[in-house]
């Protein structure tokens, strides 16, 4: 059974590429895909690219052209839920699109013609990813305390909101959280791709799980915190979490 490992950023993918056995590069849809093995598991590594449409194209190509049977996504996100801090990890249980609004024809946040606002992640795959995140944080203990200004990182589980915006203003983050919460969808974090990949995986009935490391608080310093965090910290998180995850994956 082939597993797709999607990374949001090249920095996150590099460590996995270094570990890939028998790497074969294939170009499709203007994107590079890397086939090979990680800990004996057949995998395809890909960069999602940024934004919902680009990520949906990558996910669809992984399923249609490479026949992947499960898909796991790593990346970074802005923390918007209470207590979701830089350096924490969020394992997604569900995704919502915070910029979907076809009202008054459909209720705000509802995906037209699906009759739903949220797409759920696969419970079994997410449980493995959660275990891998805990194990990964133990492996990284003490390494980034100076960079994140704290130790004792948490693993959260819950809803992530995706949209085609980098949220970098405290007032916008507050409103986004309040509006979603009022509609019954309080998010822990925001990013720009996960809900699109979740929808594609729903369409193809492919198990999907996602983990995001919190790089910023989606506030007025987010644009400064984000690139620094990606360079120094997120790439290491993604590597240890996926390394732990692949070791525990059943082969069928």
Which residues in this chain contact ligand ADE in the complex, by CB under 6 A? 76-78, 166-168, 190-192, 215-216, 218, 222, 226
Owner of token pair 């949209």: 163
Catalytic residue among 11, 94, 122, 216: 216
The C-alpha atoms of residue 78 and residue 215 are separated, in whole angstroms, by 6
Does the active-site annotation cover 244?
no
CB of 232 to ligand ADE, least distance (A): 14
CB of 173 to ligand ADE, least distance (A): 7
Cβ atoms of residues 75 and 212 within 8 Å: yes
Choose between 68 and 219: whose C-beta lies nearer to ligand ADE: 219
182 burial level (CB within 10 Å; 0-12, 13-18, 19+)? exposed
Q: 24 is written with which tokens?
A: 């074969």
Choose between 20 and 190: whose C-beta lies nearer to ligand ADE: 190
Catalytic residue among 11, 12, 117, 193: 12
Strands 41-47 and 155-162: unpaired
> In 14-154, where do the E strands start and end?
21-28, 31-38, 41-47, 70-79, 89-97, 118-120
Q: Nearest 5 degrees, angle CA 148-CA 153-CA 159?
A: 105
Owner of token pair 């993604």: 238
Choose between 76 and 125: whose C-beta lies nearer to ligand ADE: 76
Does the active-site annotation cover 225?
no
CB of 155 to ligand ADE, least distance (A): 17
Query: CA 178: distance to chain centroid?
Result: 22
Choose between 63 and 192: whose C-beta lies nearer to ligand ADE: 192
CB of 223 to ligand ADE, least distance (A): 8
Active site residues: 12, 216
């Amino acid at each position: 059974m082939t597993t797709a490992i999607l990374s949001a950023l090249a920095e996150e993918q590099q460590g996995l590429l270094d570990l890939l056995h028998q790497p074969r590069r294939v170009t499709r849809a203007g994107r590079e895909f890397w086939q090979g093995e990680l800990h004996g598991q057949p995998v395809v590594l890909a960069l999602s690219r940024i934004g919902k449409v680009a990520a949906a194209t990558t996910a669809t190509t992984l399923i249609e052209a490479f026949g992947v049977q499960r898909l796991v996504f790593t990346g970074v996100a802005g923390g918007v839920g209470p207590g979701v801090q830089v350096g924490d990890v969020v394992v997604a249980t569900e995704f919502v699109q915070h910029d979907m609004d076809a009202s008054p024809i459909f209720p705000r946040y509802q995906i037209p013609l699906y009759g739903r606002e949220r797409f759920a992640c696969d419970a079994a795959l997410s449980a493995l990813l959660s275990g891998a995140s805990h194990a990964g944080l133990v492996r990284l203990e003490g390494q980034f305390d100076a960079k994140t200004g704290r130790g004792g990182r948490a693993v959260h589980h819950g809803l992530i909101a995706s949209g085609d915006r980098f949220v970098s203003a405290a007032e916008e983050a507050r409103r986004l959280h309040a509006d979603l919460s009022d509609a019954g969808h309080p998010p822990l974090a925001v990013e720009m791709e996960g809900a699109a990949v979740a929808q594609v995986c729903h369409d193809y009935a492919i198990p999907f799980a996602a983990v995001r490391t919190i790089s910023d608080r989606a506030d007025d310093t987010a644009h400064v915190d984000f690139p620094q965090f990606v360079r120094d910290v997120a790439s290491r998180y993604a590597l240890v979490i996926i390394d732990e995850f692949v070791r525990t994956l059943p082969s069928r």
